[in-house]
Structure 1
Amino acid sequence: MTTKRVLPPEWAPQSAVMLTWPHPGTDWAGLIKEVEPVFENIAKAVLRYEHVVISCEHVARLQELERDLNRFAEQSGFPGRVKAVPAPANDTWARDHGPITILSDDKPTLLDFRFNAWGGKFPSEKDDALNNHLLNAGVFGTTAMQQVDFVLEGGSFESDGRGTLLTTSECLLTPTRNPAMDRTAIEQLLSEVLGVSRILWLNHGYLAGDDTDSHIDTLARFCAPDHICYVACPNVADEHYSALAAMEEELQEFRQADGSPYKLTPLPWPDAIYDQDGERLPATYANFLIINDAVLLPVYGVPQDEDAILVMKDIFPSREIVPIDCRPLIYQHGSLHCVTMQIPAGVVS
């Protein structure tokens, strides 16, 4: 008897959101005071709707966090929603090292893909082992976890929940991830493991300061099975203009499984933000997180933030839009979606 596998969309009911907390042993060492409040704001926003799973390498700091966030949850009327686990980590990008959950005959199964820090760019052995730490700590209850010998990051694909995967060739076909596999082999593996029936490949799309080789979650996102929002650059003089205009044309050519075009919504283009060395940082409103009854939206302290909030309210009229200042996150080349991983319903209780 064949097992039916479904990769749920982000808007499917969730039990928790996973956060891997920054510590002084990571690249955040010089920015801890700036970045920890961002993580705290994300955790508190999530706690109003579902559980938070927090891991941290520094046990004393983890105990403080567990105490403070439990107090916040209790005062907010949601006691018992904080799950805290001591675990080593190289970095904080839970989207990419966290487990990917599928529904196997309607029951959740955790998939633990290999993580090699976006093609060996940084140390990753602790992050690659993190999901097993969480499993052994009992965070996932009785949910089974399957090891998959394939490098795949959660930020590199989007699911419509109906068998369609959206991704970028720049990322999935980079030879530093799975050098022995070509596009056909990768499509076959993803079809078998994730249960998807078709893959939409974007061949264009670019964000300055991005370490991930064009992760889809910084460029284009499913908002519903028939709706994609995407990053659009209106400034012809901007270095992003050509690549993002080409991406927009590709999105316009994409078709749903029934042959109809997608509804497409362009997102505002934030003013350029640079670090102290003059390097442009990857600020994008596409890096939002959908949770139960809400959307957490990264904002950056630029004039376009208000427009982004209005666009999100229009896209998700039945969800609360929660803006979170993520400017400190982009100094390490990621944003809100990159530091979170949702865990579907039925896993964390």
Structure 2
Amino acid sequence: MKKRDCRTYLPAEWAPQSGIMLTWPHRHTDWASDLTNVEACYLELAYHICRYQKLLIVCFDHAHKKHIKQILKEKNVALEQVRLALAPSNDTWTRDHGPITVLCQQDITLLDFRFNGWGDKYASDLDHAITATLYHQQALGDTVLEPVDMVLEGGSIEVDGSGTLLTTRDCLLAPTRNPKLSQQQIEQKLIQWFGLNRVLWLGHGYLDGDDTDSHIDILARFCDRETIAYTHCDDKSDPHYKELNAMETELRGLRSITDQPYRLVPLPWPAAKYDDAGNRLAASYANFLVVNGAVIIPGYNDPA
């Protein structure tokens, strides 16, 4: 990291934002077989994001860009809030392959970590290149971009904006990500890049159907520096019950930056969701998105 006269830090997701970035689904992604329904979901997401702030949409090619602009118009999305940029993609998980923004007083830097498809599970060459492609097109403005030679996904880390980062051992210590780095070395790099005082590690928690090796963003999220909302399973017959209750015990043992127990908010347990092949999907209300003035949560067509 380049030396600066001020302390660089990673703000919490609820800090003021200049915009949100979405990588739009297309026929070359895993969504191809259900693209109409998936696009409808993305249109809802875009509509509500644009009620609060600007939106950068990554389009696969020129034809894709034209198509997206048309369906946004039909949905009455506030197009003055939208910028469409071109960058081919393997998939759509922007939180994981997109840049991570750090601040140093008023100076903004975009960190471009390596993305390898959650430990080489999926093709990721195009997704890994998206941030650099957008930067060279000036789609990210005149913000400084700094490449980082370390595999890290945005969904694998959660910060309170006051120097604490929460993550999981299953993900960050997976041998398919940074096999030459120990837990201590990874922790020191996180402290360096994000201006942290400490890193809190969870050793429990998972969801069936999750390809990320237990990303923290489906398990536990800061609401403020004293509060954590977490995935809670109250169904003793569910295979997740034992492991998620062990995670809850871990969370109860953590202390906030003020050395007090965290205020824990259990999130409802959604009814099990399955794909067409009968495989259970990783449904979690913890996988929400904070925007300026609102929180957008997944619904799953579930009354919970």
TM-score (norm 2): 0.96
* Residue matched to 1:333: none
Name the CA distance, whole Å, in 2 between partners of 1:193 and 1:70.
Answer: 40
Residues 234-281 of structure 1: CA distance to partner in whole angstroms, max 9, x if unpaired?
A: 111110001000000000000012211111000000111112222111
In structure 1, give the amino acid aligned to 2:181: M
Written as runs of structure 1 = structure 2, the 5 A alignment for 1:122-141 is 122-141=122-141
SS in 2 for 1:24: coil
Name the CA distance, whole Å, in 1 between partners of 2:123 and 2:150.
Answer: 18
Residues 196-251 of structure 1: CA distance to partner in whole angstroms, max 9, x if unpaired?
A: 11011010001000000000000100011110000110111110001000000000
Name the CA distance, whole Å, in 1 between partners of 2:86 and 2:249.
Answer: 46
* Residue matched to 2:201: 201
Contact 2:164-2:199 at 8 Å conserved across structures? yes
In structure 2, give the amino acid aligned to 1:11: W
* Residue matched to 2:60: 57
**In the TM superposition, what is the alpha-carbon distance from 1:15 to its structure 2 partner?**
1.0
Contact 1:70-1:82 at 8 Å conserved across structures? no
**In the TM superposition, what is the alpha-carbon distance from 1:141 to its structure 2 partner?**
1.2
In structure 2, give the amino acid aligned to 1:242: K
Name the CA distance, whole Å, in 2 between partners of 1:162 and 1:293.
Answer: 20
Contact 2:18-2:54 at 8 Å conserved across structures? yes
Name the CA distance, whole Å, in 1 between partners of 2:279 and 2:126.
Answer: 28
* Residue matched to 1:103: 103
SS in 2 for 1:80: helix
Written as runs of structure 1 = structure 2, the 5 A alignment for 1:244-283 is 244-283=244-283
* Residue matched to 1:45: 48
In structure 1, give the amino acid aligned to 2:20: V
Greater CA deviation, 133-142 or 41-50? 133-142
* Residue matched to 1:287: 287
TM-score (norm 1): 0.84
**In the TM superposition, what is the alpha-carbon distance from 1:68 to its structure 2 partner?**
4.5
The answer to whether residue 44 in structure 2 is matched with residue 19 in structure 1 is no
Residues 148-179 of structure 1: CA distance to partner in whole angstroms, max 9, x if unpaired?
A: 00000000010100010010011000010000
Structure 2 portions without partners, runs of 5+: none
Name the CA distance, whole Å, in 1 between partners of 2:265 and 2:120.
Answer: 34
Structure with the larger RCO, 1 or 2 (CA within 8 Å, 6+ apart): 1
Name the CA distance, whole Å, in 2 between partners of 1:272 and 1:64.
Answer: 34
In structure 2, give the amino acid aligned to 1:190: L
The answer to whether residue 242 in structure 2 is matched with residue 242 in structure 1 is yes
* Residue matched to 2:176: 176
Contact 1:100-1:154 at 8 Å conserved across structures? yes
Greater CA deviation, 168-177 or 98-107? 98-107
Name the CA distance, whole Å, in 2 between partners of 1:22 and 1:117.
Answer: 16
The answer to whether residue 170 in structure 2 is matched with residue 152 in structure 1 is no
Name the CA distance, whole Å, in 2 between partners of 1:213 and 1:82.
Answer: 33
Contact 1:231-1:285 at 8 Å conserved across structures? yes
Name the CA distance, whole Å, in 1 between partners of 2:81 and 2:139.
Answer: 12
* Residue matched to 1:119: 119
Name the CA distance, whole Å, in 2 between partners of 1:83 and 1:41.
Answer: 17
SS in 2 for 1:299: coil
The alignment yields a C-alpha RMSD, in angstroms, of: 1.4
In structure 1, give the amino acid aligned to 2:46: A
In structure 2, give the amino acid aligned to 1:48: R
Structure 1 portions without partners, runs of 5+: 305-349
* Residue matched to 1:312: none
* Residue matched to 1:309: none
Name the CA distance, whole Å, in 2 between partners of 1:19 and 1:107.
Answer: 24
SS in 2 for 1:210: coil
Contact 2:72-2:79 at 8 Å conserved across structures? no
CA 1:179–1:201 in 2, change beyond 3 Å: closer, same or farther? same
Quote the sequence identity (%).
50
* Residue matched to 1:165: 165
Name the CA distance, whole Å, in 2 between partners of 1:149 and 1:261.
Answer: 35
Name the CA distance, whole Å, in 2 between partners of 1:138 and 1:210.
Answer: 34
Contact 1:66-1:82 at 8 Å conserved across structures? no
SS in 2 for 1:53: strand
SS in 1 for 2:18: strand
* Residue matched to 2:7: 4
Residues 319-348 of structure 1: CA distance to partner in whole angstroms, max 9, x if unpaired?
A: xxxxxxxxxxxxxxxxxxxxxxxxxxxxxx
